[in-house]
């Protein structure tokens, strides 16, 4: 053997010896190396890979089952791994992806996993994310299309053994595809589960359920069922021990469900119950308890018209009511009432009703019965009714009512809205309201308000549509805001953007001695006050808030005691990835949450290249990084990669084709790009894979450069 080729550490070369070794450990990062091994005539070359590290990108095409994952066997995966897989099956089929073995470091920093597996519902890492996980729990996912992508990245701290995943396919309309369990939950070898809306348990023998987190519909008839009435009661008393019971409650589509746990008796650690917000057990759990306990949680409200109630052992009694929401359109007359009337309304109620008459009609509303708690902490109003002269809580507020009043009002147009709010203290019987349409020429019916001290707040509601920057503030700012203020703001930006709300000045009355907040600014992560609450703000602390979507709303409420200067806040649209096309562009990840992964795909016109300039970099921890891919997805070649902590700004980066992908995790990256034609004396790259070319075929590439020579390099 020639000593030169006994152990080759160079980047590529011609090898003609009868045996030898190749080692790429000393090769510079991002270097492309090609070795050519030539043997004697009539002989074959046997190549054995003793160690493979990080080379984990791969694409699968077909309808077969194949296992993939980290290729380190019983050894831990390496630090700073960045792997991508793409699976494509025939159109009309879906992919079931099963992570059967998982052992990924689950240490977190500010909610961001150091080592992370992400699953995308589509062909690239710019598709929608349907899963992000670490830890040791097996997971599975089903795509909505015929392609799925997987990304795996690690840091330089702890390493585990990684994961192994396999996949197979099912027809898009097939709901009988069998899998072993729902994602995230443990399995029993004696049971299998079916996919689809209903999930059935098949058993060879009676199985004592030991897994508190799975969700199935069983063949047992002693418990569970469908309930469609607007109110009702569910109890597990009399059911045999250790049976899994599932009730689904569905009310009218425009209503929401108020749930009250009346009694709880979970005597052993294996007893539990759970309430899911939605039509199946994949919804958001809004109530959950596990033995040993008899504690009753506060009442809860669903976000849509369906909830699922699941019990396993113990005794639980639950009542529900949907008389908390309503949308009446075109009805000549009708009515609504507080939840559970004439029983006491539940604590922490938040109800809305909208009434719409025909055009050229007005609405008369009368509160014929009213018994609402009117005294809270230090004399503040605690439970109250708000009436709006318009279609929503953004409309001008007519008044704020409580106690035992008799109220009548005629709307100025064909819309009226009512809101009812209760606190966690004393409850009363509530109210009954009736309405009827009144022609526009009828005599106006004035309000009859028993408490003449009630004030109507300044109209301070605003809607911002497709505005990238703006300012909101409390009424009279920088002067003191009025008593009984009720203000709403709705902000909507471009579809792929998010909203950064910065409170630059805050002086809102905050109660002492652990009392409930009296004056408060509430920020909602969505277009209305029914969206999830991001923050409740009082006192003097400035802060920044980022939405998770392109819509954000805020509500400001004050009582009749102390008033402060209020607040002023600025909002701006921030972009977390997306597809961008054009000659130029400027983007920033500033304002994005630390635990967000953002992917920008930049595309120029054909025959153009992208010149990317990074203006500033702020990567504060090893959990923050950015990566630039030379192509249209995360399987493309890496052009540049930096992991924090770092503030170093690289030089310009030019693509070899017309697309670049920029990936950020945390940190702040400010960058811009411009598209330009390939200039003289520059190097172009023709990239082509011959994997799928049939035998005896060839390709011809033509490059025309007037008065220039072309140097071809094959690698």
Beta bridge partners of 705: none
Both 562 and 580 in one domain: the answer is: no
Which three-class secondary structure string do you get for 619-687? ECCCCCEEEEEECCCCCCEEEEEEECCECCCCCCEECCCCEEEEEEECCEEEEEEEEEECCCCCCCCCC
Q: Judge whether 693 lies within some domain.
A: no
Residue 55's pLDDT is 52
**CA geometry: angle at 205 spanning 201 and 207, to 5°?**
65
Give the CA distances from residue 397 to residues 55, 421, 486, in Å, rounded to whole numbers and listed in that order. 63, 15, 8
Question: And the tokens for 653?
Answer: 């980066």
Q: Which ranges of 373-495 would DSSP assign to H, the alpha helix?
A: none
Range of weakest confidence among 169-183, 255-269, 456-470: 169-183
Do 160 and 154 form a contact (C-beta atoms < 8 A)?
no
Residue 513's pLDDT is 47
Question: And the tokens for 610?
Answer: 């992208």
Residues in contact with 706: Cβ distance below 8 Å, sequence separation at least 6, in sequence order: none
* pLDDT of 121 strictly over 60: yes
CA gap 470, 491 in Å, rounded = 9
Do 382 and 425 form a contact (C-beta atoms < 8 A)?
yes
Q: Judge whether 687 lies within some domain.
A: no
Higher pLDDT, 65 or 525: 525
Both 167 and 234 in one domain: the answer is: no
Residue 72's pLDDT is 42
Residue 567's pLDDT is 93
Both 79 and 161 in one domain: the answer is: yes
Residue 417's pLDDT is 92
Residue 19's pLDDT is 82
Both 633 and 530 in one domain: the answer is: no
* pLDDT of 356 strictly over 70: yes
**CA geometry: angle at 375 spanning 371 and 376, to 5°?**
125
Residue 686's pLDDT is 44
Structural domain harbouring 595:
576-677
Both 347 and 313 in one domain: the answer is: no
CA gap 249, 305 in Å, rounded = 8
**Of 526, 545, 574, which residue is a domain's last?**
574
Q: Judge whether 33 lies within some domain.
A: yes
CA gap 709, 715 in Å, rounded = 20
Do 204 and 227 form a contact (C-beta atoms < 8 A)?
no
Kindly indicate the confidence band of residue 516, based on its pLDDT and cuts at 50, 70 and 90.
Answer: very low
Do 386 and 457 form a contact (C-beta atoms < 8 A)?
no
Entry field: residues in the chain: 715
Both 471 and 538 in one domain: the answer is: yes
Q: Which CATH number fits the domain that encloses residue 66?
A: 2.60.120.290
Q: Judge whether 379 lies within some domain.
A: yes
Both 395 and 496 in one domain: the answer is: no
Percent of the residues in the chain that have a pLDDT greater than 70, as a whole number = 73
> Ranked by mean pLDDT, which of 199-203, 583-587, 674-678 comes out on top?
583-587
Q: Which ranges of 45-195 would DSSP assign to H, the alpha helix?
A: none
Q: Within 13 A of 149's CA, how many CA atoms are on the CB side? A: 17
> Ranked by mean pLDDT, which of 76-90, 137-151, 198-212 comes out on top?
137-151
* pLDDT of 332 strictly over 80: yes
User: Count of domains in the chain?
Assistant: 6
Residues in contact with 374: Cβ distance below 8 Å, sequence separation at least 6, in sequence order: 381, 382, 383, 384, 402, 403
Mean pLDDT of 177-184: 33
Higher pLDDT, 401 or 695: 401
Mean pLDDT across the chain, nearest whole number? 74
Residue 217's pLDDT is 28
Residue 233's pLDDT is 81
* pLDDT of 100 strictly over 90: no
Question: And the tokens for 53?
Answer: 């590290």
Question: And the tokens for 22?
Answer: 């190749």
Q: Judge whether 639 lies within some domain.
A: yes
pTM greater than 0.75 (yes/no)? no
Residue 67's pLDDT is 58
Residue 278's pLDDT is 84
**Rounded to a whole number, what is the distance in angstroms from the first to the last CA of the chain?**
26
Both 24 and 70 in one domain: the answer is: no
* pLDDT of 30 strictly over 90: no
Tens of pLDDT, residue by residue over 632-657, are: 888 788 888 888 888 999 999 999 88
Residue 281's pLDDT is 67
Percent of the residues in the chain that have a pLDDT greater than 90, as a whole number = 7
DSSP character for 412? S
Residues in contact with 451: Cβ distance below 8 Å, sequence separation at least 6, in sequence order: 403, 405
Range of weakest confidence among 9-13, 52-56, 288-292: 52-56
Higher pLDDT, 240 or 52: 240
Residue 415's pLDDT is 92
Both 317 and 340 in one domain: the answer is: no
Distance of CA 529 to the CA centre of its chain: 18
Residue 584's pLDDT is 84
* pLDDT of 672 strictly over 80: yes
Rg of the Cα trace of the chain?
32
């Amino acid at each position: 053997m020639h000593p030169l080729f006994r152990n080759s550490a160079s980047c590529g070369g011609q090898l003609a010896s009868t045996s030898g070794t190749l080692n790429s450990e000393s090769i510079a990062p991002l270097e492309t190396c090609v070795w050519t091994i030539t043997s004697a005539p009539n002989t074959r070359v046997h190549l054995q890979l003793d160690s493979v590290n990080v080379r984990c990108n791969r694409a699968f095409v077909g309808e077969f089952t194949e296992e993939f994952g980290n290729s380190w066997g019983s050894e831990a995966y390496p630090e700073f791994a960045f792997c991508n897989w793409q699976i494509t099956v025939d159109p009309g089929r879906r992919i079931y992806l099963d992570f059967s073995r998982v052992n990924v470091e689950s240490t977190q920093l500010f909610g961001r996993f150091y080592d992370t597996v992400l699953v995308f519902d589509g062909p690239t890492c710019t598709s929608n994310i349907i899963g992000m996980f670490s830890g040791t729990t097996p997971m599975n996912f089903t795509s909505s299309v015929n392609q799925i992508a997987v990304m795996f990245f690690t840091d330089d701290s702890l390493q585990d053994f990684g994961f192994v995943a396999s996949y197979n396919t099912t027809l898009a309309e097939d709901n009988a595809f069998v899998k072993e369990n729902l994602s995230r939950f443990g399995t029993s070898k004696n049971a299998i589960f079916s996919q689809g809306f209903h999930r059935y348990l098949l058993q060879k023998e009676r199985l004592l359920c030991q897994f508190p987190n799975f969700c199935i519909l069983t063949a047992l008839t002693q418990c569970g069922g469908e309930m469609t009435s607007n109110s009702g009661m569910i109890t597990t008393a009399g059911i045999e021990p250790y049976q899994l019971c599932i009730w689904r409650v569905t009310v009218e589509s425009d209503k929401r469900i108020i749930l009250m746990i009346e009694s709880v008796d979970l005597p052993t650690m294996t007893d539990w119950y759970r309430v899911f917000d939605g039509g199946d057990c994949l919804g958001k759990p809004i109530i959950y308890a596990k033995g040993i306990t008899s504690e009753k949680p506060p009442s809860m409200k669903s976000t849509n018209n369906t909830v699922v109630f699941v019990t396993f052992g113990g005794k639980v009694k639950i009542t529900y009511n949907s008389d908390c929401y309503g949308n009446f359109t075109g009805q000549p007359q009708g009515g609504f009432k507080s939840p559970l009337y004439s029983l006491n309304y539940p604590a922490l109620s938040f109800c809305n009703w909208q009434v719409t008459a025909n055009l050229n009609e007005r609405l008369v509303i009368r509160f014929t019965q009213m018994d609402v708690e009117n005294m809270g902490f230090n004399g503040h109003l605690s439970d109250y009714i708000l009436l709006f002269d318009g279609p929503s809580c953004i409309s001008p507020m007519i008044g704020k009512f409580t106690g035992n009043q008799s109220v009548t009002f005629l709307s100025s147009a064909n819309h009226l809205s009512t809101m009812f709010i209760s606190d966690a203290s004393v409850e009363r019987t509530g109210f009954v309201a009736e309405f009827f349409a009144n022609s526009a020429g009828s005599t106006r019916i004035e309000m009859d308000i028993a408490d003449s001290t009630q004030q109507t707040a300044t109209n301070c509601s605003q809607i911002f549509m497709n505005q990238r920057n703006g300012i909101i503030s409390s009424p009279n700012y920088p002067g003191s805001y009025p008593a009984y203020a009720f203000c709403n703001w709705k902000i909507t930006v471009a579809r792929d953007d998010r909203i950064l709300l910065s409170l630059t000045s805050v002086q809102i009355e905050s109660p002492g001695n652990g009392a409930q907040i009296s004056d408060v600014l509430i920020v909602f992560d969505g277009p209305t006050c029914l969206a999830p609450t991001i923050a409740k703000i009082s006192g003097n602390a400035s802060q920044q808030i980022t939405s998770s979507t392109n819509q954000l709303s805020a509500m400001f409420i004050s009582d009749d005691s102390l008033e402060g200067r209020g607040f002023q806040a600025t909002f701006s649209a921030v972009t977390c990835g997306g597809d961008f096309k054009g000659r130029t562009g400027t983007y920033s990840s500033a304002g994005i949450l630390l635990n967000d992964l953002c992917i920008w795909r930049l595309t120029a016109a054909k025959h153009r290249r992208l010149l990317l300039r990074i203006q500033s970099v702020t990567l504060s921890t090893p959990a923050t990084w950015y990566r630039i891919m030379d192509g249209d997805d995360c399987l493309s070649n890496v052009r540049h990669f930096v992991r924090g902590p770092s503030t170093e700004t690289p030089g310009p980066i030019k693509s070899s084709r017309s697309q670049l992908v920029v990936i950020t995790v945390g940190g702040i990256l400010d960058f811009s790009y411009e598209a330009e034609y390939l200039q003289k004396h520059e190097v172009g790259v023709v990239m082509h894979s011959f994997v799928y070319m049939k035998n005896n075929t060839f390709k011809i590439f033509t490059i025309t450069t007037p008065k220039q020579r072309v140097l071809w390099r094959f690698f």
